[in-house]
Chain A
């Protein structure tokens, strides 16, 4: 991973916060996954498909978390992403099932449109009216879920051929494992994973090599200074919310590809999962520090926790939630300690 070495220890330079937090995350994830593979060798952690299922199940969350990370890097937060995902799932299902001439393309446009609308409005309220992002997006979250309930209160399954065909697309990989009958089974990925990976790569490039990307860091790091450096702080904040809205739209579409149904209660707790993934991935709540690759690892860590907890024999439906919260707590305190040490 060349980007770690870039400003890493190789030259005897002190690490940047971003790098430091990223390394912690990667180490924790690898340690977790490898030790699970060794300890629970019977549960299939060593099988490639186990890893790719992690991706298949979390593709939507990866995209959504990336959007959230961008807002957090710019010093804001967005807790409406879960509600938006539910709204998108409901709206798209209704659109796909009940409207003439609908297909996956029009539903994608609908999803992106909803995301964009939320992004524009929330961004305006946060950036130009200077309202706390938490309050704005809390309202956004409730608005989205309420709106979804107004459209449709029942859970509905997608019954649209072009969409279903797309949703069932499987990308076979040249690696795999033997199943119980000794037959070689190829590992596969869903289409959503490709979208997620492309998104991660594109955002990684955006944050590292574009003026806008670096402005996000500057604004999140210190608003006053960013202003003095000649950055349009308000516009940058606004755009961060717009981008997050768009990504949530895309993530909502991928979510629908995976679950193929729409319901008000879908994506429950996604905002928390996404925030947790971002924080575990090294994005600082205070802004200015974070890495899209870290967020990606953060989502995988969150997904792996569920698998490992199950493998450990903790069958209660509550364990993943509790372990995730414990991890969130650990990283929050770690960040707080880092920040206060800097100030001292």
Chain B
């Protein structure tokens, strides 16, 4: 192992049923560097981290750590911690009902009794050294998220961690809290700790990182020193450059001048922290919300559908003012929404394919007017044929189908309601290529039949192929719109990278941060 190299992963692969999450990925972490791990949804970032920290076992490949002559075989997060590899997750990892000091020392003491004076004293010293503004005796729930994260980092540092993995640490922090965290990270870097920084905020990457590793679809795209990878190039590498010509499928800009938009919103915002945005979608038009993971694209469409609590703004549906406070109201106005998280929000896993397909239409039809079994079978079969869903029978629990077939079932559920406006949030995520293409073609066909469609995907080429107008988001704010002949990969990426509006809390890019 070369000088300064702390940790290497070589040819790491990991498969789940139906998905190859990592395909021979290499990763190298050096002492005293902050290394950004970048990639879109499904790129394999979190799988890589979980393999490294022993949450998942790898299928192939090897992990080496400086100072250990043999390849590591990490079996649990605990073991990883003992080896000096610690992870700080945004949400979990600490107990909010305990004090700061307890969280620092819980699970580490060998003695059955606790000496609070000593523990609190030690904690105060460590917190002081690292400049973390927290009191040892304070209950963690009463600390800000930023402080909680810093406490988790302090715990890791105190356990002699050499490699520190920060998984999306900044997504809930405000500007000054981010500053505090970065100062702490800089301090640790100076002590020789190697930090893996996972984030979707590009500005932050360019502020603090030394090196970037990019993953896409489970493949390693490459490892680059920060200075050699300008922002635009990074986005290209994350979202995929190879735009294949796809015959027949390409959206064209049309003039919707005479038409009434199926949906039109003004200054809409929700409790999920998106900045107020304007948006309209004409019949027959395919629009898209794009931006990096966490930029607020899902939150925008959820606000339109009433899935999150709407806190302000105006909505007009087919020209008429509407107030949507819950999904049922949106459905009655002719909207449909295929949610981002299929397993959690989409399928009702234990119920049959038939019940899953008719569910939305059934709810709209009303409590006292159930479909007869014959009618339900008829409706479900129609769509199973149309979308070629592969299921043993209509009575098969939907949870046992493959991801692609589950997605088709949910698609069938919404098409059955004959919506005027269909929102598809990452319908192609985690499903096979054949099904992906089928879904893209379907979108274009539905639009040709006069349906308004909004399509969200992590893969830019998909969106370019199907959408005629893209709304670009960054940091939960609409930063631009790209449409018509401007709709090229370069333009979209540039808008994501630079935007037309200056984003809040973003510091100027500083490629030379060292």
Contact = CB atoms under 8 A, between A and B. Distances in A.
Interface stretch (B44-52, B110-118, B405-413): B110-118
Contacts of A231: 106-107
Contact of A288 (B92, B94, B95): B95
Contact of B138 (A13, A215, A221, A226): A13
B363 interface: no
B138 to A, nearest CB: 6
B271 to A, nearest CB: 9
B121 to A, nearest CB: 15
A230 B79 CA distance: 10
A210 B112 contact: yes
Interface string A204-217: 00000111101101
Interface string A1-36: 000001100010110111000000000000000000
A7 B99 contact: yes
A212 B106 CA distance: 10
Contacts of A263: none
A212 B114 CA distance: 10
Contact of B112 (A13, A211, A220, A225): A211
B126 interface: no
A292 B138 CA distance: 20
A246 B109 CA distance: 26
Contacts of B139: 7, 14, 16-17
Nearest to B88: A228
Given A14-B142, A17-B141, A229 B109 contact: no
B83 to A, nearest CB: 13
B93 A225 contact: yes
A14 B141 CA distance: 10
A288 B97 contact: yes
B252 interface: no
B95 A221 contact: yes
B251 to A, nearest CB: 41
A293 B108 CA distance: 27
Interface class of chain B by DSSP = loop
Interface in B83-131: 89, 92-99, 102-103, 106-109, 111-114, 116
Contact of A226 (B95, B99, B109, B114): B95
Given A14-B138, A289-B97, A212 B77 contact: no
A160 interface: no
A289 B93 CA distance: 18
Contacts of B135: 11, 13
A230 B114 contact: no
A229 B97 contact: no
B481 interface: no
Given A229-B106, A231-B107, A221 B112 contact: no
Interface residues of B, number: 29
A212 B137 contact: no
B155 to A, nearest CB: 8
Contacts of A217: 95, 97-98, 102
Contacts of A210: 112-114
Given A7-B99, A14-B139, A14-B142, A229 B94 contact: yes
B112 A212 contact: yes
Nearest to B81: A230
Contacts of B20: none
B365 interface: no
B149 to A, nearest CB: 13
A222 B96 CA distance: 8
Contacts of A225: 92-95
A220 B97 CA distance: 9
Interface string B422-434: 0000000000000
Contacts of B93: 225, 228-229
Interface string B296-321: 00000000000000000000000000
A159 B180 CA distance: 73
A218 interface: yes
A205 to B, nearest CB: 9
Contact of B116 (A13, A16, A209): A209
Contacts of B141: 16-17, 342
B114 A209 contact: yes
A155 interface: no
B191 interface: no
Nearest to B142: A14
Contacts of A214: 98, 102, 106, 114
A7 B103 CA distance: 16
A224 interface: yes
Interface string B359-400: 000000000000000000000000000000000000000000
Nearest to A17: B97
A211 B111 contact: yes
Interface string A272-313: 000000000000000011000000000000000000000000
Contacts of A211: 109, 111-114
Contacts of B81: 230
B78 interface: yes
A203 to B, nearest CB: 15
B92 A222 contact: yes
A73 to B, nearest CB: 10
Contacts of B106: 214-215, 218, 226, 229-231
Given A215-B106, A230-B107, A231-B106, 4 more contacts: A7-B137, A7-B139, A17-B139, A214-B102
9 contacts: A13-B135, A14-B142, A17-B139, A211-B112, A218-B95, A222-B96, A226-B107, A227-B77, A288-B95
Interface of A: 6-7, 11, 13-14, 16-18, 209-212, 214-215, 217-218, 220-222, 224-231, 288-289, 342
Interface of B: 77-78, 81, 89, 92-99, 102-103, 106-109, 111-114, 116, 135, 137-139, 141-142
The 7 closest A-B pairs by CB, nearest first: A230-B107, A221-B97, A288-B97, A16-B139, A221-B95, A229-B107, A14-B142
